[in-house]
Structure 1
C-alpha cells in the first residue's frame, strides 16, 4: 500500500526518504524542488478544489449524526456544476490546522463529517481503519482499503508509519465506541470518526510519483477510524505519546538525558542508570461490570484493562516525584528507585 512511508532517525531528528512496502508502488523519483515554492502551488490547487467540489452531505443524516445509517456512510466528492451548481462547497465545511514541517508552515485542511464517540487517537498510536487515497487533480484513486486495515501512525526504525499529512488528519478524529461481530467474522463498527484530509505534497510523497499520480501532487485521503492501540515503543510503562514533552507532535526532539535517543525509544529517560519503569509506582483495581470506575489520582493513568466474565481488572501507572521538585522521578537524575 502506498500509504506507508519510511523515516530515518538521524541525530534525534526524523528525516523523510522514499521507501514503501513494495518496490513497484512508486515511479521514478523526480528532481528535488524548493519546498516553499511547491507548497504555494499545492495549497492553491487544494483551495481551488475545495471551492469547486462538494461531498454527498445530503445523504448524511445531520439531525442524528450517530444513527446506524450513518455508520455505513461513505464520502463521495463531486464537482459543483450543472445539476449540482447549488451545492455547498467544501471550503465552507472544512477545518484546518497549521503544521510546521521542514521549514514550511503547512495549512492542512480536513473535513470532519463526524468526529466519533470513542477514544482519542494519538500521533504515535496504531489505528484500525478503512481509507481511500485520491489525487486532487482528477480524483484518481491511487490507493484504498475497503476492509479494515492497521497502520502505525509513527515510524520507528524498521516499523513503517504513514505520511505526515495522513497522520495529522487522522488524529483529529475519534474511534468507534461500540461494535458487533457478525456471523461471517466481520465486524460492524458504530459511532466511529468519518472524514477526509487534503494534503500538500510536502506532507505527502513530495517528489515521489505514485502509480498514476505525478510527483509534487497534492492528495486526499478519506477514512473511517475504528480502533486505536496506544503504543509504548520502548516498553518503559510510559506511553509514547506521553513522551512528547513539548507537545509539538514530534517525539524525536524530546531527549532528556541528551544521549541522542529520544525518550520514547529510551528505557532510561534521565540517564541515571535506573530503568524508567523502575522509577514509577503501580496500582491495580478490580471492579465488576456496572460498578463505578475507580477515581485515579492526577499523576496516575490507566495502563491496561482486561474484562473476564464480568470482572474488570484495571492496572495503572503512578508517576512519582519523591523530592517534590516538579520533575517526575523517571526524568530526574536526582532521584533513584526505592529499594
Structure 2
C-alpha cells in the first residue's frame, strides 16, 4: 500500500524521505529541489484545487450528521462548472492547521465532514480506516483501500508509518463509538470520523515517484476513520503518546535520562536501574458493547482495549507520584518501586 512510508530512524531524524518498496508503487527518487520553492508551487496548486472543486456535501446533508445513512458516506470531489457552477467551493469548507517541518511552516488544509464521536487518535497510535489517495493534478487515484486497513501513524526504525501530512490530519478526527457485525460477517462502524486532507508534497512523497503521479506533486487522501489501537513501542507500560513529555508532537526528542534513547524506546526512562513498568500501577475494566465507558481517575489512562464476543476489556495504567513532588515515579530517579 502506497500510504505506507518505510523510513529508517536516521532518516526520520534528518527528515529526508526515501521510498524503499518499489513494488508498492513508489519508484526511484529524483534530485532534490529546494523545499521552499516546491512549497510555493504546491500551495498554489492546492489552493487552486480548493477554489475550483466541491464535494458532495448535499448528499451528506440529506441526513443528520451522525445518522446510520451517513456512516456509509463517501466523499466525492467534482469541478465547479456547468450544472455545478453554484456549488460551495472546498476553500470555504476546509480547516487549516500549520505544520512545522524541516524549517518551513506548511499550511495543511483538511476537510472535516464529520469529526467522529469515538476516541481521539494519537500521533503514535495505529489507525484502522478506509481511504483513497489521489493527485491534485487530475484526481488520478494512486492508492485506495475499500476494506478496513491498519496503519501505524509513527515510523519507528524500519517499521512502516504514514506520510506526515496524513498523520497530522488524522489526529484531528475521532474513531467510531460503536459497531455492529452483520449476519454475513462484515463489521459496520457508527459515528466515525470522515474527512480528507490536501497534502503539500514535502509532507507527502516529495521527490519520490508514485505510479501515475509525478514527483513534487501535492496529494489528497480521503478517509473514514474507524478504530485506534494505542501503541507502547517499548512495552514499558506507558503508551507512546504519553512519552511526548514536552508535548511538541515529537517523541524522538524526549530523553529523560540522557542516554540518547528516546523515552518511548527506553524501558527505564529515568535511568534509576528499575524498569519503568515496575514503577507504575495498573487496572482493568470489563464492559459489554453499548455500556457506558468507565470513568478513570485523573492519573489513569487507557493502555489497551480488546473486544471479544461483545465483551470489551479495557486495561489502564496509573501514574503514581508517591513522594508528591510533581514528578511521576517512573521519571523520578529519587523514587524506587515498592517491594
- TM-score bracket relative to the smaller structure: over 0.9
Give the match's secondary structure for 2:255.
coil
Per-residue CA shift, 1:203-252, capped at 9, x if unaligned? 00011110011110000000011111111111111101111111121111
Q: Are the equivalent residues in 2 in contact too, given 1:14–1:252 (CA < 8 A)?
A: no
Alignment of structure 1 residues 157-196 onto 2, 5 Å: 157-196=157-196
> Could you say which residue in structure 2 is the equivalent of 1:318?
318
Unaligned runs of 5+ in 2: none
Give the match's secondary structure for 1:28.
strand
Whole-angstrom distance in 2 between the partners of 1:176 and 1:292: 14
Give the match's secondary structure for 1:60.
helix
How far residue 315 of structure 1 moved from its aligned partner, in angstroms, is 3.8
Whole-angstrom distance in 2 between the partners of 1:90 and 1:290: 36
Whole-angstrom distance in 1 between the partners of 2:243 and 2:280: 14
Alignment of structure 1 residues 18-57 onto 2, 5 Å: 18-23=18-23, 25-57=25-57
Per-residue CA shift, 1:164-198, capped at 9, x if unaligned? 00111111111111212123321111111111000
> Could you say which residue in structure 1 is the equivalent of 2:74?
74
Whole-angstrom distance in 1 between the partners of 2:76 and 2:25: 25
Give the match's secondary structure for 1:202.
helix
Alignment of structure 1 residues 300-319 onto 2, 5 Å: 300-305=300-305, 314-319=314-319
Q: 1:302 to 1:11 in 2, by over 3 A?
A: same
Deviates more, 1:287-296 or 1:66-75: 287-296
> Could you say which residue in structure 2 is the equivalent of 1:128?
128
How far residue 43 of structure 1 moved from its aligned partner, in angstroms, is 0.9
Give the match's secondary structure for 2:242.
helix
Structure 2 length-normalised TM: 0.93
> Could you say which residue in structure 2 is the equivalent of 1:58?
58
Give the match's secondary structure for 2:198.
strand
> Could you say which residue in structure 2 is the equivalent of 1:139?
139
> Could you say which residue in structure 1 is the equivalent of 2:206?
206
How far residue 8 of structure 1 moved from its aligned partner, in angstroms, is 2.3
Q: Are the equivalent residues in 2 in contact too, given 1:283–1:318 (CA < 8 A)?
A: yes
Q: Are the equivalent residues in 1 in contact too, given 2:198–2:221 (CA < 8 A)?
A: yes
> Could you say which residue in structure 2 is the equivalent of 1:109?
109
Q: Are the equivalent residues in 1 in contact too, given 2:230–2:304 (CA < 8 A)?
A: no
Give the match's secondary structure for 1:238.
coil
Structure 1 length-normalised TM: 0.93
Give the match's secondary structure for 1:226.
strand
> Could you say which residue in structure 1 is the equivalent of 2:251?
251
> Could you say which residue in structure 1 is the equivalent of 2:232?
232
Deviates more, 1:290-299 or 1:67-76: 290-299
Give the match's secondary structure for 2:51.
helix
Deviates more, 1:242-251 or 1:286-295: 286-295
> Could you say which residue in structure 2 is the equivalent of 1:281?
281
Give the match's secondary structure for 1:324.
coil
Q: 1:130 to 1:290 in 2, by over 3 A?
A: closer
How far residue 12 of structure 1 moved from its aligned partner, in angstroms, is 8.7
Give the match's secondary structure for 1:27.
strand
RMSD (Å) for aligned C-alpha atoms: 2.2
How many residue pairs are counted as aligned between the two chains? 339
